[in-house]
Amino acid sequence: RITSGAATIENGFLLVRFSANESKVNFSGELPFTGNLELTAANLPNVSERWMVRCSSMIRCLNLGLTPTHSVYNSEKASLWLPFPNEKVSVEYKDLEGLEGDFLTIDSTEHNLNWGAQLLKGSLTIELRATEQTPFEVLVPELANITGLRVNGVSGGGTVKDQKGLVLLSPGEHQVTLSYSIPWTPSWIEHAPLIKLSANAHNLNVNVFPSEDRWLLWTGGISWGPCVLFWGKLFFIVLLCLALTKAGLMPLGTFGAIMLGIGLTSIPIIWMFIPLAWLISLKLIPLLHEKWIMLAKPIRLIMFVGLSLLALVFFFKIVQFGLVLDPPMLVAGNQSNASHLKWFVDHTGSSLAQPWIVSLPLWSWRIFALLWSTWLILALFSWLKLAVDIEGPGQRKATSENPLE
């Protein structure tokens, strides 16, 4: 069908009218979405034809018959023919069929959780793309209260009903932000709230900010995330203290070795060798007294007193860590720390993954630290007696066990 220009269709033929002194005529027409275009060169004297067919990126074209002279014209894909009379070309064309898939794709999701004293506050930031106008839903838990819903940074772009947030998305890229709150009662194990979306989520980042008055013990629920390394360090140091005690290198019993190992876990590993070296010296110097007194007395005093003072400083640091500072739980993994836990999931379906954390009230850590400090004070009385007798004429013989331990 001709839509414009100096051309008409009569009896199945295209009739083009040239005015006087006119050598070029332009016209436009329409073809059905799917069909076959037949081109035949006219057998007329003094007439040469040139055919050029360009197909858009949404149309599939198949040329039959005469091979094109050129397949590129002006740096664009096009078929160009210079036919002789009566030569024919058939061009089959049809729309490209789109692949089956969702009209909505979630590129990334960020779920932030902030555990307060009695209220859990959460927020979702969702980056998504729509290929046609489509609704998008976010469903929060039953007891949750949706406090905000924004689309592309603008409030009022959606509706909130009970525990459901609904937005109508036009084709294109969008950012949907939803915030909510849930009444929260502290427990020893906590799961992230179950959030459901109306499309599968990808590239999910979960950020958890634990309550400051909780003692973090363990994390889990998602493979790629934080890990508490404190327990591995505790096991290693306690085992080391037990081994040194069983080898007769420290004036401790089994219970004392376990308590010492627990306390040394609070400080960096490189620091703990000073208290251990001091305790070992309390055991070995009396056993090697003859070799020890061969050193000049000033040198002996400087070495032993200096080591004793350093050990006392590090014992004070252990007490400070326990009674004043936060527990050194050594949280690592995915750039996490004890106050900011980060998890990542590449694909989680329409229900967002739920990490969990195990924790106790912070006062339980303080009470344990206070009990350990009490044990340390009692043990120090015994250790300092051994230290005083190191150079005394009535030097004690080291015993294998301390009665306080």
The answer to whether residue 272 is domain-embedded is yes
Does residue 111 have a pLDDT over 90?
yes
- Say yes or no: 205 and 244 in one domain: no
Mean pLDDT of 353-362: 92
In a domain? residue 45: yes
Mean pLDDT calculated for residue range 329-353: 91
**pLDDT score of 400 more than 60:** no
| Most confident of the following: 27-31, 97-101, 401-405 | 27-31
The predicted-structure confidence for 67-78, as pLDDT tens digits, reads as follows: 888 888 888 888
Q: Is the pLDDT of residue 399 over 60?
A: no
Binned at pLDDT 50, 70 and 90, residue 22 comes out as confident
**Per-residue pLDDT at 395 exceeds 50:** no
| CA–CA distance, 244 with 247 (Å, rounded to integer) | 5
pLDDT of residue 403: 39
58, 76, 95 - which closes a domain: 95
Query: How many domains is the chain partitioned into structurally?
Result: 3
Tens digits of per-residue pLDDT, 303-322? 777 888 888 998 888 888 77
Residue 263 shares a structural domain with residue 380: yes
Q: Over pLDDT 70: what percentage of the chain?
A: 92
User: Is the pLDDT confidence value at 110 over 70?
Assistant: yes
* Count of all residues that appear for the chain in the document: 405
> Are 160 and 253 in a shared domain?
no
pLDDT per residue as tens digits for the range 124-168: 999 999 888 889 999 999 888 899 999 988 887 788 888 899 999
Token duo for residue 205: 């980042």
Q: What is the pLDDT of residue 10?
A: 78
Q: Are residue 191 and residue 123 in the same domain, yes or no?
A: yes
How much is the average pLDDT of 164-176? Answer: 90
Residue 352 lies in a domain: no
- Residues 291 and 190 reside in one and the same domain: no
pLDDT at 344: 95
Residue 291 lies in a domain: yes
Q: What's 137's domain CATH number?
A: 2.60.40.1730
Given a cut of 50, whether residue 401 has pLDDT beyond it is no
Section 235-255 average pLDDT:
91
> How many C-beta neighbours within 10 Å does residue 303 have?
13
For the whole model, what pTM was predicted?
0.68
Percent of the chain with pLDDT over 90: 31
Where a domain ends, among 30, 62, 95? 95
Q: Is the pLDDT of residue 42 over 90?
A: no
Q: Are residues 377 and 279 in the same domain?
A: yes
Asked if the structure places residue 224 within a domain, the reply is: no
In a domain? residue 355: no
pLDDT at 83 over 70: yes
Residue 69 shares a structural domain with residue 150: no
392 vs 161: which has the higher pLDDT: 161
pLDDT at site 402:
47
pLDDT band at 98 (very low <50, low <70, confident <90, very high): low
Average pLDDT of span 384-389: 81
Residue 348: per-residue pLDDT: 85
Backbone phi, psi, residue 124, to 5°? -120, 135
Asked if 161 and 30 sit in the same domain, the reply is: no
Task: Provide the terminal-to-terminal Cα distance of the chain, rounded to the nearest Å.
Answer: 104
> Which pLDDT score is estimated for 124?
94
Q: Would you say residue 215 lies in a domain?
A: no
Domain around 201: 104-209
- Residues 117 and 202 grouped into a single domain: yes
In a domain, residue 49? The reply is yes
For residue range 200-244, list pLDDT tens digits in order.
999 999 999 998 888 999 999 888 999 999 999 999 999 999 999
Cα distance between residue 380 and residue 391, in whole Å: 18
**80-109 mean pLDDT:** 84
Average pLDDT estimate for 249-269: 90
**Cβ within 8 Å of residue 152, ≥6 positions away:** 174, 175
Q: Indicate whether 234 and 370 sit together in one domain.
A: yes
For residue range 284-299, what is the model confidence (pLDDT) as tens digits? Answer: 777 666 665 666 667 7
User: What is the pLDDT of the chain when averaged over all its residues?
Assistant: 85
Asked if 16 and 117 sit in the same domain, the reply is: no
The reply to whether 239 and 178 lie within a common domain is no
The last residue of one of the domains, among 59, 74, 95, is 95
Q: What's the confidence (pLDDT) of residue 293?
A: 65
